[in-house]
Amino acid sequence: MKTLVIAGGTDGIGRALALACLERGDTVVVVGRGEERAKELLARRGVGARVFFLKADLRLLAESRRVVEEVKERFPVVDALVLCARCHRSARVETAEGIEENLALLYLSRYLLSHGLVESLVRAERPVIVNVAGSRVPLEAVRWDDLGLARDYHGGVALGQGGTLNELLGVAFAETYGAGRIRYVLIAPADIRSGSEEGVGETPASILAVVDDPPADPLSAFVEGRRTGVADSPADRRAAARLRELTRGLLTG
């Protein structure tokens, strides 16, 4: 039986994954804002002692950091961290901490959870981080001097850039921890209906497959269920290092 932390586990792919895991006897920590949807999960028969809800708005760095601390305190061993939380806005919004919302939720929160939970993950036998994101823009299209898209915001661009930043997060994470046991897996699902438990397709099953049997490589990627190459060119590694530096600035500034 495994212990999974699912960020964005109250709806869509994350919720379907949570249900599948609870059904087979795993322990699941669901992170999200939707208390009502979480209550319904908590009330499922036979799962009460194995499902935990951490209410958090992961757009806020302070909330992601709080989640890290709570998980570390309550779950010393975590087998899998699954990152599914996202939002989509057609207009640019900044959080109360002054960070563009997609950058904060889709990338910075995933960075904080990935790095912050290493301590609990390394205690597991075959730990894995599954970062579920979507389409990506090419490296040349990343707005390095304007990651928060203050100029010419477009919701689709924000999501695409977020996908690329997560890929680079995986590259940098694998470089740092790849000699150890934690495996980083990037999953880009086929398009499905967001916010729906029924329309999630094969993605929860494919996440479960890598949770149960993580690939041997420190970093791996799957697009619509098929394993693909990973970003491992010198340019990718330079971009990952550049992003890591920019991220440190964003997290301390």
Ligand X SMILES: NC(=O)c1ccc[n+]([C@@H]2O[C@H](COP(=O)([O-])OP(=O)(O)OC[C@H]3O[C@@H](n4cnc5c(N)ncnc54)[C@H](OP(=O)(O)O)[C@@H]3O)[C@@H](O)[C@H]2O)c1
Chain residues binding ligand X by CB under 6 A are 8-14, 32-34, 37, 56-59, 84-87, 105, 132-134, 188-189, 191-192, 194-195
Vertex 79: Cα angle to 77 and 81 (nearest 5): 105
- Whichever of 133 and 172 has its CB closer to ligand X, that residue is 133
Which of 107, 105, 159, 170 is CA-nearest to residue 137?
Answer: 159
**At residue 219, what are phi and psi to the nearest 5 degrees?**
-130, 135
- Whichever of 124 and 192 has its CB closer to ligand X, that residue is 192
d(CA 186, CA 169): 10
| Nearest distance from C-beta of residue 133 to ligand X, angstroms | 5
| Nearest distance from C-beta of residue 12 to ligand X, angstroms | 2
- Whichever of 41 and 172 has its CB closer to ligand X, that residue is 41
CB-based closest residue to ligand X = 12
Q: Give the gyration radius of the chain's Cα atoms.
A: 17
Which of 123, 77, 92, 114 is CA-nearest to residue 251?
Answer: 114
d(CA 8, CA 155): 19
| Nearest distance from C-beta of residue 229 to ligand X, angstroms | 19
| Nearest distance from C-beta of residue 179 to ligand X, angstroms | 28
| Nearest distance from C-beta of residue 202 to ligand X, angstroms | 12
d(CA 55, CA 63): 9
In the 8-state DSSP scheme, what is residue 79? S
- Whichever of 201 and 215 has its CB closer to ligand X, that residue is 201
Q: What is the maximal distance between C-alpha atoms in the chain? A: 51
Which of 15, 57, 183, 30 is CA-nearest to residue 114?
Answer: 183
| Nearest distance from C-beta of residue 82 to ligand X, angstroms | 10
- Whichever of 40 and 180 has its CB closer to ligand X, that residue is 40
- Whichever of 77 and 223 has its CB closer to ligand X, that residue is 223
